[in-house]
Amino acid sequence: MADRKRVVGPEKSVLPLVESGPQQPFNPDRRKDGRSGDRIRPLFLKTGIIKQADGSAYIETGRLKVACGVYGPRQSARNKLPTQGTLNCDFKFSAFSSAKRRAYAKDNHERECSLIVYQALAPAVRLDLIPKSTVDVYIQILESDGNAACLAAAITCAAMALADAGIEMTDAVAASSAGYIGGNVVLDPDGDEETLQNGSLMVSYMPSLNEVTHMMQIGEVTTNLTVKGMEACVDACSQIRTVMQQALAASLADGNS
């Protein structure tokens, strides 16, 4: 179907075949960026990047870049539950954010991610305090590097933006991911490492209440390894939480000056 509302190019285009050099063997103690298996990539967080939004945040970790804007509480278009507010999450890849160009129309993967972000955040947001209102969370992936890591960053970024918007939450949700590569748990795998893994895990966690809000495991692994992976992810979430706290406190200090 032709898109009349955009400038359209050729109907079909493909990526060229890229000649890749020899692959370095994977070493869980010394990965290609020098990390060991139990380390996440350094994290940069900033709030208030979208001035038009009620709250916003930006996260950059490795090549991964995510922006999130929160609008609300605003009048609901439709009142589903009059006693409770509605949380609406929208997860979108930018056209240029991945190896293959993304279409503008939302695909199934984006729909699934939107739902996961909602499931991860909804337990923390105190929707009972904002009856008849809607909070819209718009997540835009600017550059993706690893599916699970991207989703985790989106959740962390959205939680930051919600806090920046002053939406009441029981806790600031942090999320992290891990891959299972040859019997090892590898935290925060990037896109290349994801091609090697035989399973992955993503955990959304409320660090100060010590509760998991969402957990997703893909692939076949032993129970022991899953437990190990979960512990690693929960630890990573607590680390991420420290960075979130610092960034949120910094945003207040900026506001004062």
Partner 1 sequence: MDIDTAADATTNGASHFTLDADTFRKIHPAEYNRRFISQGVRADGRPLQRFRKANVNVGSITTANGSSMVRLGNTTVICGIKAEVTEPTPEAPRAGFLVPNLDLPALCSPQFRPGPPGELAQTISEYINQICTSTNLLNLDDLCIASGQAVWVLHADILCLNYEGNALDAALAALIAALWNVRLPKSTYDELEGTVRAAATNTIPLVLNRLPLAATFGVFDAQHLIADPTDQEEPLLSSQLAIVVDQEDNLCGILKEGSAMDRERMVECIGLARNRAQALRRLIDEALAKADAS
Partner 2 sequence: MASLIVTPGERIAHAADYEASSGTYERDEYVYASVVGEKRELPPPAGGMRPLIQVHRKKETSAIPEIHSIVTGKVVRVKPREATVSILVVGNVPVRESFQGIIRLQDVRATERDKVQMYKSFRPGDIVRLASFAEMEIEGTWG
Q: Which residues bind partner 1 (CB under 8 A)?
A: 5-10, 12-21, 49-53, 63, 65, 67-69, 71, 74, 90, 92, 94-101, 104, 136, 138, 140, 142-144
Candidates 22-30, 33-41, 102-110, 249-257; binding stretch for partner 2 (CB under 8 A): 249-257
Structure tokens at 98: 């991945």
Q: Are strands 43-47 and 174-181 parallel, antiparallel or unpaired?
A: unpaired
Nearer to partner 1, 65 or 214 (CB): 65
Smallest separation, CB 39 to partner 2 (Å): 24
Smallest separation, CB 255 to partner 1 (Å): 16
87 contacts which partner out of partner 2, partner 1, none, CB within 5 to 8 A by kind?
none
- Do 248 and 254 form a contact (C-beta atoms < 8 A)? no
Structure tokens at 86: 């509605």
Q: Give the burial string for 203-235 (b: 16+ CB within 10 Å, else e).
A: bbbbbeeeebbbbbbeeebeeebbebbbebbbb
- Do 119 and 214 form a contact (C-beta atoms < 8 A)? yes
Nearer to partner 1, 94 or 217 (CB): 94
Tell me how far apart the alpha carbons of residues 152 and 40 are, in angstroms, rounded to a whole number. 12
Task: Show the binding pattern over residues 163-192: x = contacts partner 2 (CB under 8 A), - = does not.
Answer: xxxxxxxxxx--------------------
Q: Is 248 in the site for partner 2 (CB under 8 A)?
A: yes
Among residues 37, 62, 179, 207, which is the contact residue for partner 2, using CB under 8 A? 207
Smallest separation, CB 80 to partner 2 (Å): 15
Tell me how far apart the alpha carbons of residues 69 and 164 are, in angstroms, rounded to a whole number. 10
Q: Give the burial string for 129-163 (b: 16+ CB within 10 Å, else e).
A: ebeebbbbbbbbbebbbbbbbbbbbbbbbbbbbbb
Which residues in 45-84 contact partner 2 (CB under 8 A)?
54, 71-75, 82
Of the candidates 134, 150, 170, the residue with the CA atom closest to the CA atom of residue 94 = 150
Among residues 130, 152, 157, 202, which is the contact residue for partner 2, using CB under 8 A? 130
* Interface residues toward partner 2, by CB under 8 A: 54, 71-75, 82, 124, 126, 130, 132-133, 163-172, 206-209, 244-245, 248-249, 251-253, 255-256
